[in-house]
Amino acid sequence: MKNKIVSLLLLVTVVLMSVSLCGCKKSSAEIYFLNFKPESATIYEEIAKEYEKEKGVKVKVVTAAANTYEQTLKSEIAKKNAPTIFQVNGPIGYQSWKDYCLNIESSEIYSHLSDKSLAIKGDDGKGVYAIPYVVEGYGIIYNGELTDKYFSLKDRNNDYTSMDEIDSFDKLKKIVEDMQKKKKELGIEGVFSSTSLSSGEEWRWQTHLLNVPLYYEFEANDDYEDPTIAGLNAKELDFRYEKEYKNLFDLYVENSVTEKTLLGSKSTDDSMAEFALGKSVMVQNGNWAWSQIKKVSGNNVKEDKIKFLPMYMGISGEEEQGICIGTENYFAVNKQATKEEQEASLDFLNWLFSSETGKKYVTEQLDFITPFDTFTDSELPNDPLAKEVVRYMRDDSLKTIPWIFTSFPSENYKKDVGSALLDYVQGTKTYDEVSKTVKDKWKSERS
């Protein structure tokens, strides 16, 4: 009898323990923020602490490892304590998470959004389900010190005197090829950093570079005012500017630090390191790259000499083209959270982007260029590439290219285009096959 009681007691403890392990107690209105940017993980944790100190509301920050946000969100949202604030990457991302996106049209944070068209609307054009919180830009980053050095050489094949004169693909090609010839005199290993094509590192080409020709294609579609919407509705692609896409891609590959056949093992980090160490003059990337360049030990890029050049590829009218500016980062509030949690989450977002403390974190530590009207000119981040983005954004003589790649059909699509590009540089596929992949895969992944 006694033994029976002992075993029963043990059993109860075992069961209780397992139950208490899974079902943590729910405190009132805790905010759970699933962060997308691993590089800002520690800053968000600091912000959370600050917010708790100031407002007494607990914020739990969980950061997904690089490139695993969708996976993490998928498993986190199924839990009982699901994220109350999460992020979608654009209209396609909204489509997959719309059951979880709350209509935040009446929220204060939405009222601060300076360009309301940036927000993601519902399928019927009504309601606001996700709002962008950071604007980013990308183009060809160049090291002004090295280009100045080039322009001071005597035996150039052209008579341009500064990068400001370069406003088309032909001019770019001319100086790039000449620079490549004079790489010894310039002390570089190649004009462009490695065109990184190892698995998971192809996004600069299959997403960012492809954005430009497809933007021009969708923009020409008169049925839709917004090229992103045109892209979302495109069942098939003409890939009208395939030749132009090849122009710039070939220029990258032919005048590179690395031999063509070895590009399959290079990563974005490799290219940024090459640029930071002055082995290359140019690299295609965005303003987020500055923190990466800064981190490379022995970097010798001068802060006031690093600039953006638009991605010219030979499309007519590109003299007026700016860099690509847009966003892939939208906040959404979980519709399936409790009312209190939703309120608390919106309050937190509003605090982050409009209170003095919050804004300080955003500009000084997160280095965000935000699309909210609560930020004045003096509250812009002071890293050189972010400043360049702002310069391009404000230059009315140039037409910035929006990020229409948010309308690309799927991750698979980008992956397949990336591996076709790898086959192309390795010589196992022709460019026609790449172009066919771009078109055929669009059709099959869209269906």
Partner 1 sequence: MYKSLKKWFPVFMLPTLIAFFIAFLIPLILGIYLSFCNFRSVSDATFVGFSNYIKVFSENSDFVNSLWFTVKFAVVSVITVNIFAFLLALLLTRGIKGTNLFRTVFFMPNLIGGIVLGYIWQLIINGVLYGFGYSITSNAEYGYIGLIVLMNWQMIGYMMIIYIAGIQNIPTDILEAAKVDGAGRFKTLFNIVIPSVMPSVTICLFLTITNSFKLFDQNLALTAGAPGKQTQMIALDIYNTFYGKIGFEGVGQAKAVIFAIMVAVIALLQLYLTRQKEVES
Contact residues: partner 1, CB under 8 A: 3-4, 7, 10-11, 14-15, 18, 70-71, 74-75, 77-78, 92, 95-97, 99, 197-200, 259, 261-265, 409-412, 415, 419-420, 422-423, 426, 428, 444-445
Least CB distance to partner 1 at residue 197 (A)? 8
**Minimum CB distance to partner 1, residue 77 (Å):** 5
Nearer to partner 1, 111 or 199 (CB): 199
- Nearest CA to 312 out of 401, 203, 418, 391 is that of 401
Closest CA to 92 of 220, 207, 216, 224: 207
Length of the chain: 447
Min dist CB 147 to partner 1, Å, is 30
Closer by beta carbon to partner 1, 79 or else 294: 79
81 versus 354: smaller Cβ distance to partner 1: 81
> 337 in helix, strand or coil?
coil
Q: Which residues contact 298 (CB under 8 A, 6 or more apart)?
A: 276, 277
Give whichever of 11 and 220 is closer to partner 1, judged by the CB atom: 11
87: β partners = 331
Q: Is 99 or 223 the residue whose CB approaches partner 1 more closely?
A: 99
Q: Are 230 and 402 in contact (CB under 8 A)?
A: no
The distance of closest approach from Cβ of residue 36 to partner 1 in the complex, given in angstroms and rounded to an integer, is: 16
Q: Toward partner 1, which CB reaches closer, 354 or 426?
A: 426
Q: Which residue in this structure is represented by tokens 């004009």? A: 191
* For partner 1, the closer CB: 85 or 420: 420
Q: In the chain, how many H helices and how many E strands?
A: 19, 11
Task: Please name which of 410, 309, 392 lies closest in space to residue 135, comparing C-alpha atoms.
Answer: 392
Token digits of residue 321: 């083209």
Nearer to partner 1, 114 or 199 (CB): 199
CB of 259 to partner 1, least distance (A): 6
Q: Is 384 in contact with 300 (CB distance < 8 Å)?
A: no
Taking the complex as a whole, the smallest distance from the CB of residue 43 to partner 1 amounts, in Å, to 27
d(CA 363, CA 370) in angstroms, rounded, equals 9
Distance, in Å, from the CA atom of 58 to the CA atom of 250, rounded to the nearest integer, reads: 52
- Least Cβ distance, residue 65 to partner 1 (angstroms): 13
What are the residues facing 113 on neighbouring strands? 372
Question: What Rg do the C-alpha atoms of the chain give, in angstroms?
Answer: 25
CB of 198 to partner 1, least distance (A): 7
| Choice between 273 and 289, CB closer to partner 1 | 273
Neighbours of 114 (CB within 10 A): 11
Residue from 116, 87, 117 nearest 100 by CA: 87
Residue with tokens 């959370």, as numbered in its chain:
48
Smallest distance from partner 1 to CB 426, Å: 5
